[in-house]
Amino acid sequence: MKFFAYLLTIVICFIFILKYDIISQDYPVRSGSIIFLEKKCNSCHSVKTQAIECDDTTNKSITDLSTIGDSLESEIIKDYLKKKVKINNKKHPVAFKGKKDDFDTLCNWLHNLSSVLY
């Protein structure tokens, strides 16, 4: 009898999860570092504080973004990656292409890269 009560509880919980979409299609949450690597940002940039090295070892002008959040706000990063603004008189060579959620996650992650330890 206890077995059937236990089984019934599991079935009801499962139905509840499916009915109310508790398990969302958007999970797992994608991190900024994953998006950074997927979009191949590391072909020109490194983030040494996150153990991300630039793939192009012949590139002499590798930009390390480990502390980019110290100098740029998230909105400036977004505009730069969309080629709307210049930094040091240059637009970003490649405009970001992808989902808005990924773009926001990446920009927020970049903004949080800082020399300040929390």
Domains of the chain: 29-112 (1.10.760)
What's this model's pTM, rounded to 2 decimal places?
Answer: 0.72
List, for residues 46-74, the tens digit of each pLDDT value: 999 999 999 988 888 888 999 999 999 99
State mean pLDDT over 73-86: 95
Which is it for the CA torsion 68, 69, 73, 75, positive or negative? positive
Give the angle 76-105-75 at the CA atoms, nearest 5°.
15
85 with 76: CB under 8 angstroms? yes
